[in-house]
Amino acid sequence: MAPLLTPVLTLIARHRVLSVLLFLLIFPWLMPYEALAVNILIFGLYAVGFNLLFGYTGMLSFGHAAFLGVGSYLTGMSIVHAHLHWLIAIAIGVGASGLVGALMGHLAIRTRGIYFSMVTLALGQIVYYGFYKAERWTGGENGLRGVTVPAFEFAGLTIDFTNPVTKYYVMLGFVAIALGLVSRILASPFGAVIEAIRENEKRAAACGYDVARSKLLVFVLSAAICGLAGSLRAIHLSVVPIDSLHYLQSGQAVMMCLLGGMGTFFGPFVGAAVFLYLEDVVTTLTRHWMAVVGTIFMVFILFFPRGIWGSLIGRWERATTPSAQT
Amino acid sequence: MSTLIPAPTPNPEHSTSHADQHADQHAAPQANMQATSRRRLLQAGAAGTVLAGAPFAINIVRAQGAPIKIGFPTPLTGAFSAEAQDQVRAAELAVKEFNDGGGFNGRKVELLVRDDKLNPGEAASRTLELIEKDKVDFIVGSLSAATQLSINAVTRERKVIFNSISQSDAINEAKDWSPYTFHEALNPHMTAGAVARYAFPKYGKKVVYLTADYAYGHEMVRGFERAGKALGATTLADIRHPLGAADYSAFLPRIQALKPDILVLCNFGRDLVNSAKQATDFGLKESTRLVAPVLLFTSRVAGGADAFEGVVGGTSYYWGMEDSIPAAKAFNDKFRRAYGGAVPSDYGALGYAGVRSVLQAVVNAKSTDSDKVADALGRLEYNWYKGNQFYRKCDHQSVQSIIIVESKSKGMKDKNDVFSVASIEAPSESNLRSCSELGHKG
Amino acid sequence: MNAPLIQRHAMDVQADILIEARHISRQFGAFQALTDISVQFRAKHLCAIIGPNGAGKSTFFNILSGAIAPSSGSVLFQGQDITGLEPHEYARRGIAKSFQITNVFKQLSAHENVRVAVQMRHARFDFFSPRAKLAGVAQTAQALLERVGLASLGQKPAGDLAHGQQRSLEVAMALAADPQLLLMDEPTAGMSPEETTVMMDLITELAAERTVILVEHKMKLVMGICKTLIVLHHGQLLAQGSPEDIRANPEVRRVYLGQG
Amino acid sequence: MVELTPQLLGLQLVTGVALGAIYALLAVGLSLIFGMLTVVNFAHGAFFMVGAFLGIYFQTLTGSFALSLVITPLVVGSVGMLAERFLVRPLYGRGIDYPLLLTFGLSYVLIELMRVLFGIEGLPSSTPAMLRGSVDLGIGRFPLYRLVLIGATAAVVLGLWLMIEKTRFGLIIRAGSRDPEIVRVLGVDVARVWLLVFGLGTAIAGLSGVLAAPTRAVNPEMGITVLAESFVVTVVGGMGSLMGAVVAGLLVGVVFSMTSLLAPEFAELSIFVLMALVLLVRPQGLFGKAGLMG
């Protein structure tokens, strides 16, 4: 299969953002319904943001729901309470999650390994309770309702988010920008630095890189991208559930990354797509979806630790030279 | 679902209901489960291919005789799955009745059940799925304040009728409400009020609340205190506990020290089981009466007689009221016939009523158009299972009777005989918060 | 007339001394690893720290390279006190090291390993320009690989290289920053005799342009090539001087050959 | 608001200790597994839950709580060993993320399994007859069973301590938790030891399930919150430190209990704040070895 696969993958590797976008353009046709496609778009982005930290820098955070949630809530609150334009609301959501990322990161990067995971978990929970308690602004456990964007004119045509297809393509716009940015960062010298840090912190420091500062930077970037995913989700669902801040939501990012292949560019997206699609199908088939999801998850960890996309790349790399980082 | 220890076996049926399946369900649940799954698989596949063909078809023109579709999002998995699955059974009963009665000029009804996992986000996207992919005409369902509010947020934006069958005060309020929003279930204000009016005069005026710290809990407390004021009850403390806490022992010493006449457990489901159980262990019942706004049939069965001994609470329905209410008798019998002798639970019954109201409105409106049906629902006066009900004009809250039950610990006839009906408060608009208070004009 | 002369003389001395350890002591809990060690290392000079196992060589090395801070005393580099600075600060001042346990980015290719190291000098926090654009960096990296004799293995993941090759790769990475001081902890540990000779040649070659400090417990190995030897024993400075002095030193003989 | 009499505070303290007992028991199991295998067992809560279910099942089967206290841990432990042998073992040396995530998947399966076996809304659980009721401690009434709980925990911890200090197996564990290499050097069959340790850890989780069952609702999801809490405890105490697990267990229990009295709404948050604070001041936890997990 390698000879057949190689040229395709080489092409994808060369224009990874372009190819993913081409795919996403036709994506709604492949999905049973648009809302699922939008969900995959959003969680794909969420997983990509998480992967920046987990896959590329090797820091396993259990607090990433905080960024998804803060993005959602700040965007939602700007629309519901402050009646701001939805674009500004998104900007606020992303900014806020970046800020929270800076704070959490500043505290968390002092710790390593499982302790890092636990600190992020704890800080994430603190954010959760913060929003849970601010019932007046966030709606508390009931969630924030009424995040609606009225139909508007753009370049002569009416954009109405209650039309799922329109919504999908607008969201795709944002995801495209974010993916472009991530791809650029990974290809940049800084991208090399964070991979070096993942491989060997001591060595990176001996090379003269400020490990702590680099880690913090990735943390903030990752947070902002997850924040954008959150912002989009608020507009997509027109509600912000408190669950979006819960640590189980953080766990979902890990699952998606692993399923798709951590430390690969497409992996998280593939992971999110497969995860959500499976869940969608399995839940309608059987009430025992947890068992199915759990089993699939274990199978992957045992037999395909590099994830779906990662394993594909693996085959390919074995067939060719171990060069391109896709 | 085979169970090693007797426990109410939920019905595995998961999609549109047909009489023949109910027949074999109790013969061979497993087999039926698989049968169901297989059919679902086919359906999913079909739907998939169809939609893959035309993703942009947002409003497909429906041929005459095409089924009327009712979307039914409810937490089939998670903490309230028992109640949810009973809701489904009852809803399917309503659908079956309607179809057996010939449907709506030739059009049969199809119930599309979806698992919202008790997660508002999931509920919202499931509702989007039902509207976008399955093109449902109406939505009935939900089993928590949060999920019903997020379902409502989606439906009202798309002008789809949603008849909610779980409790919430917020959904009545103008902020969330829409002309397409209906509330079949009781709300905390009504329930708490009724329980207060029964319990405070009877058991004493010094009250402590142990409250799950979320809107539902706060709304319950508000309801009790409002009704309590008129009755001269005093609140010694309102202790807020984290939602879903497993251990309440840490809250109990203080309650002991307060020596209240009544301890109101303003929480739901498992929280209620846990707190009641542990309050019993701490010997609180010796001096204090335990009261719960909503005493769930299923929680009582799961929690056991000891924990709930002597606990008094409210409910929208208890099968035992059939002795005094003919409609209840009729409903129970239908349910028993369909499900091998099982009795409907409180929330289950709501599933039946929620669907049946919508279908009756379709008949009255002679249409499935949202606005026409909404109008017909607004005028509806019905008695499906517990006596006369109607939707209040301003907020579409179903005005209905409230049943006060006391948990039995001895002399039970069978595993379903868990409550004794202490009193039934007749339906009255005066027990609801006023329209103006909710922010509705006129 | 005299004053300026003296002053210039003083400056020359300053300039001539690259790194200096002043009264360095280090405890680990109750254990006294180093006691009051003061040594000066001159620029463009090959020097070795020797001593039997447990003499405190590695501790001293780690203090010089900034991996750990001394309990007391200070490290001066080009006359500046750099005690207790972050490891990366040491690197940026031109202090490079190769570790005792081989220490490379295992999953990255050999070339990428060196490239990252070289990149340090050019683009520290550059998020946007594609790596490939930094052509100079890639070439420098290639040159360094050639210098340590790994030119042909550039695309191999570092983890897959032979032990000796990984050590060489480390040297290449250490050289990437074009350091004035290169610290090497047992550079030939675990190497075959052939690899060892290659490495020693490389080291002498490198010492022509910069100060190189080796930590070594194989005495003979360094006798030949080093200008100065520093002998540690039980965490104390036993002797320092030219190989000849050291060889002649009875104390050292006793420690190493158990005589006297 | 009641005034904070010494009696109330005292009773609150006892309550906290009783709470901490279960935390400590769970954390000991987690810490044992982590210290030895550096496996972060995310299925620990699920094993606790399975223990609770099987506990009731064997109790109704044998009609004796005491018997099920013995049988259940053995069963749960063997399930644990199977999991170690066939699921976790292939992942050794692959870093700590993989076993962690695998056990996470395993927990899903175990939860679903219990749903299928015992039904979704769980089982009614009740305190064994002779342990019912509450006793007057002079400072207020306190449930007898919870006192028993404290005693049982103390006994288990003591037994564990004796085993670790006095037996050869314990010696190996002590050596191993410091440096697995040593064990290999000692010429011990490491695989077998790890199998047993995982079994022991999960058995303790099962036991705490049986012990906790009478005090709370037994349902398939009961392990989820417990997991988060016992992780907090383990991390606060320092992963891999049994001493730490016990001390932190009691600490967390008391902190939770006291916040429940003074600021009930923040009871749950308080333990996370505690963890954050401890880790930021002492990144390796109270009794943790520095640099562990480098």
Read off the pLDDT of residues A120-154 as tens digits, 9 standing for 90 and up.
998 999 999 999 999 999 999 999 999 999 988 88
Partner-chain contact A107 D108, CB within 8 Å: no
User: A185 CB near a chain C CB, below 8 Å?
Assistant: yes
C86 and C185 in a single domain? The answer is yes
Establish if C138 belongs to a structural domain: yes
Q: Any idea what the Cα angle at residue B66 is, between residues B60 and B68, rounded to 5°? A: 95
Nearest CA in chain B to D254: B250
Sign of the CA dihedral running A18, A24, A25, A26: positive
pLDDT of residue B59: 40
| Helix, strand, coil share (%) of chain B residues, nearest 5 | 45, 20, 35
Nearest-CA distance D269 → chain B (Å)? 9
Q: Please indicate whether, in this complex, the C-beta atoms of D102 and A302 are within 8 angstroms of each other.
A: yes
Asked if residue B268 and residue B231 are part of one domain, the reply reads yes
> Please, which residues 51-110 of chain A have a Cβ atom closer than 8 Å to chain D?
60, 107, 110
Half-sphere exposure at residue B113, Cβ-oriented, CA atoms within 13 angstroms: 32
Domain end point (choices C178, C200, C215): C178
Residue ending a domain, among C178, C193, C216, is C178
Find the closest chain B residue to A134 by CA distance: B214
Question: Min CA distance, B333 vs chain A (Å)?
Answer: 28
C167 interface with A at CB cutoff 8 Å: no
Per-residue pLDDT of D141-154, as tens digits, reads 889 999 999 999 99
Instruction: Look at A182-191, B18-27, B351-360 and tell me which has the smallest mean pLDDT.
Output: B18-27
Q: Is A15 on the interface with D (CB under 8 A)?
A: no
User: For chain C, what is the domain count?
Assistant: 2
Stated as kind and residue range, the H or E segment containing B289 is strand B289-294
CA distance C236 to C233: 5
For the ranges C6-15, C222-231, D201-210, the one whose mean pLDDT is highest? D201-210
Please state the rounded mean pLDDT for residues B384-406. 96
Cross-strand bridge partners of residue B209? B238, B264
Q: How many Å apart are CA B180 and CA B160, to the nearest integer? A: 6
B154 with B77, same domain: the answer is yes
Domain range enclosing C62? 18-94+179-260
Domain containing residue B153: 60-186+325-399
Residue B26 lies in a domain: no
Across residues D187-207, what is the average pLDDT?
Answer: 90
Instruction: Flag if A209 and C112 touch (Cβ within 8 Å).
Output: no
With an 8 Å Cβ cutoff, is D283 touching chain B?
no
Same domain, C74 and C193: yes
The per-residue pLDDT for range D273-284, each reduced to its tens digit, is 998 899 888 888
Question: What's at A320, amino acid-wise?
Answer: T
DSSP reduced 3-state for C37:
strand
pLDDT category at B258 given cuts 50, 70, 90 is: very high
Interface mutation vs chain D, best among A301, A302, A303, A306, most D CBs within 10 Å: A301
B vs D contact (3+ beta-carbon pairs below 8 A):
yes
Q: How far is B130 from chain A (nearest CA, A)?
A: 9
Whether residue B152 lies inside any domain: the answer is yes
Q: Check whether C142 has a pLDDT greater than 70.
A: yes
Instruction: Supply the pLDDT for residue A154.
Output: 84
Q: Does some domain include residue C84?
A: yes
Q: Are D49 and D22 in contact (CB under 8 A)?
A: no
CB contact under 8 A, B153 and A239: yes
> Smallest CA–CA separation between A294 and chain D, in Å?
4
**What are the residue boundaries of the structural domains of chain A, listed by start?**
2-319
Residue A289: list chain B partners with CB under 8 A: 77, 115
* Interface touch A241/B119, C-beta < 8 Å: yes
List CB contacts (< 8 A) between D5 and chain B: 257
In this structure, the answer to whether residues C116 and C77 fall within a common structural domain is no
DSSP string, D116-157: HHH-TT-B-----GGG-SEEE-SSSEEEHHHHHHHHHHHHHH
- Asked if C128 and C164 sit in the same domain, the reply is yes
Residue of A nearest to C93 (CA): A208
D120 vs B: CB within 8 A: yes
Among D81, D51, D54, D24, CA closest to D196: D81
Residue of A nearest to D277 (CA): A119
Phi and psi at B115, nearest 5°, equal: -90, 115
Question: Which CATH number does the domain housing residue B357 bear?
Answer: 3.40.50.2300
pLDDT tens digits along D32-60: 998 888 899 999 999 999 999 999 999 99
Does B153 sit within 8 Å of A285, measured CB to CB? Answer: no
| Number of domains observed in the structure of chain B | 2
Which residues touch B244 (CB under 8 Å, ≥6 apart)?
B79, B212, B270, B271, D225
State how far the Cα of B128 lies from the Cα of A162, in Å rounded to an integer: 10
**Chain B partners within 8 Å of D265 (Cβ):** 213, 240-242
| Element spanning B270, H or E | helix B270-281
Give the pLDDT band of residue B15 (cuts 50, 70, 90). very low
Q: Within this chain, do residues C51 and C86 fall inside the same structural domain, yes or no?
A: yes
C11: in domain? no
D218 touches D237 (CB < 8 A): no
Within 8 A of B254 by CB-CB distance, chain D residues are 2, 8, 12, 261
- Phi/psi region, residue B233 (left: phi>0; alpha: psi -120 to 50; beta: rest), is beta
C183 and C82 part of one domain: yes
Which residues in B lie closer than 8 A to residue D257 (C-beta atoms)?
A: 249-250
Do D and C touch, 3+ Cβ pairs within 8 Å? The answer is: no
- pLDDT tens-digit profile of B152-183? 999 999 999 999 999 999 999 999 999 999 99
Distance CA C65, CA C143 (A): 25
Domain A2-319 has CATH 1.10.3470: yes
Measured between its terminal Cα atoms, the distance across chain D in Å is 48
Of C178, C202, C225, which marks where a domain is finished?
C178
Q: CB distance A189–C155 less than 8 Å?
A: no
> What residues of B are in contact with residue D228 (Cβ under 8 Å)?
none
Between CA C85 and CA A178, with CA A52 as vertex, the angle to 5 degrees is 125
B281 at interface of D, judged by CB pairs closer than 8 A = yes
Residue B406 and residue B280 in one domain: yes
CATH assignment at residue C191: 3.40.50.300
Q: How far is C190 from C99, CA to CA, in rounded Å? A: 13
> Chain A within 8 Å of C112 (Cβ-Cβ)?
yes
Residues B221 and B239 in one domain: yes
From the list B77, B157, B214, which residue is nearest A141 (CB)? B214
Residue C123 has pLDDT above 80, yes or no: no
Considering only residues 233 to 252 of chain B, which have any Cβ-Cβ distance to chain D shorter than 8 Å?
237, 239-242, 244-247, 249-252
What does the pLDDT average to over B191-209?
96
What is the pLDDT at residue C225?
A: 85
CA distance A84 to B274: 44
Nearest to A298 among D106, D265, D280 (CB): D106
pLDDT class for C130, splitting at 50, 70, 90?
confident
- The reply to whether C20 touches chain A by the CB within 8 Å rule is no
Contact between chain C and chain B (3 or more Cβ pairs less than 8 Å apart): no
Per-position b or e across D139-158, b if 16+ CB within 10 A of its CB: bbbbbbbbbbbbebbeebbe
- Per CB-CB distance under 8 Å, the chain B contacts of A143 are 120, 146, 149-150
SS3 breakdown of chain A: % helix, strand, coil, rounded to 5?
75, 5, 20
B17 has a pLDDT exceeding 50: no
In this prediction, residue A326 carries a pLDDT of 45
Does position A280 have pLDDT exceeding 80, yes or no?
yes
User: Do C157 and C172 lie in a common domain?
Assistant: yes
Q: Which chains touch A (3 or more CB pairs under 8 A)?
A: B, C, D
Residues B172 and B146 in one domain: yes
What ipTM does the predicted assembly reach? Answer: 0.83
Query: Is position C57 within any domain?
Result: yes
Query: Which residues, in sequence order, are bridge partners of residue B206?
Result: B234
Residues contacting A176, CB < 8 A, separation 6+: A17, A21, A24
Size of interface A-C (CB pairs under 8 A): 101
Q: Chain D closest CA to A108's CA: distance in Å?
A: 8
B313 phi and psi, to 5 degrees? -160, 180
Interface check A255 vs B, CB under 8 A? no
Site from B115, B122, B125, B222 to mutate, A interface, most A CB atoms within 10 angstroms: B125
Contact D115 A288 (CB under 8 A): yes
C104 CB near a chain A CB, below 8 Å?
Answer: yes
Q: Considering CB atoms only, which of D117, D126, D140 is closest to B4?
A: D117
pLDDT category of residue D291 using cuts at 50, 70 and 90: very low
Q: At what angle do helices D44-62 and D190-212 cross, to 10 degrees?
A: 60
> Mutation test of the interface with chain D: which of B1, B2, B3, B4, choosing the one with the most D Cβ atoms within 10 A?
B4
List phi, psi (to 5°) of B396. 60, 25
Range scoring the smallest mean pLDDT among D108-112, D125-129, D186-190: D186-190
Distance from CA of B252 to the nearest CA of D (A): 9
Assess whether pLDDT exceeds 70 at residue B45: no
Say whether residue A141 is in contact with chain B using an 8 A CB cutoff.
yes
Q: Are residues C119 and C141 in the same domain?
A: yes
- Residue D94: pLDDT over 90: no
Q: With respect to residue B154, please indicate whether it lies within any of the assigned structural domains.
A: yes
CA neighbor of B415 nearest in space, from B315, B298, B326, B310: B298
| Domain identity same for C210 and C189 | yes
User: Given A114, A125, A296, which is nearest D293 (Cβ)?
Assistant: A114
A243 touching B (Cβ < 8 Å): yes
pLDDT value for A5: 64
User: Quick check: pTM over 0.95?
Assistant: no
Residues B383 and B420 placed together within one structural domain of the fold: no
